[in-house]
A = this chain, B = another copy of it.
Amino acid sequence: MTAARGRGRPRLDDTGDDKRGQILDAAREMFAEKGFERTTMRAIGTRAGVDPALIHHYFGTKNDLLVAALRPEIDPTTLFAGIADRGTGVGREFVERVVGFWEDNPQQRSRAVALLRIAVTHEQVADRLREFFIDVATTVLGDVARADDRERRIALVVSQMFGLVLARYVMKVGEIETATAAELGRSVGATIDNYLLGDL
């Protein structure tokens, strides 16, 4: 873990509040707002107060920047720790934690929304996002789900979660957008529970 420091000016820190970090922040924000194509390197540079060439110097091509900006930072398992303990009401707790997490971490929400916006027109990103959703749902809820048709149950859960994110953060459906995490947990949680345990 020792920094093998060579000659010359030392490389700046990744997490520094310097130009490099500002580029990443600006990129995340704009990808989340406008998607991939409508976000230009020049616009990112302007928002970060930086020449576009510097972006390329740090991150390479625009696609590389996308990958760097959207790389997940935290492990989702910690967010759902101990969720399977409660017999019923798992769906409620699940939805409430997801929505609540994004409410408390706007930066993480930006990342997620950007990922969804871009996935819709980029097959590679779509594949990664779908697998991520399925993975998380399987890990967190797999044991709770009834044994029969477990994969389909998870898929249905994922479809409702996709719809929730899309309606709340992208399509801005009024009643979904303004609802609190607790309210959504109650309403949508029941659906999740039914997909996990009810008759299909």
B-side contacts of A161, CB under 8 Å = 163
Binds B, one of A54-62, A101-109, A190-198: A190-198
Neighbouring B residues of A166 by C-beta, 8 Å: 120, 159, 162-163, 166
Query: Chain A interface secondary structure, helix, strand, loop or mixed?
Result: helix
Check: A35 CB closer than 8 A to any chain B CB: yes
Copies of this chain, tallied across the complex: 2
B187 touches A173 (CB 8 A): no
Q: Which residue of B lies closest to A154 (CB)?
A: B175
On chain A, which size bracket covers the interface?
Answer: 35 or more
CA distance A166 to B34 in the complex (A): 19
Which listed residue, B37, B38, B126, B167, touches A171 by the CB 8 Å rule? B126
Q: State whether A194 touches B191 (Cβ < 8 A).
A: yes
A179-195 interface mask toward B, CB cutoff 8 Å, 1 = contact, 0 = none?
10001001110110011
Which residue of B134, B151, B152, B176 contacts A159 across the interface (Cβ within 8 Å)? Answer: B176
What separation, in Å, do the CA atoms of A38 and B35 have in the docked complex? 12
What are the 3 tightest A-B residue pairs by CB atom distance, in nearest-first order? A163-B163, A155-B175, A37-B37
Name 5 interchain pairs, CB-CB below 8 A, sorted by A: A35-B121, A155-B175, A159-B163, A160-B191, A183-B200
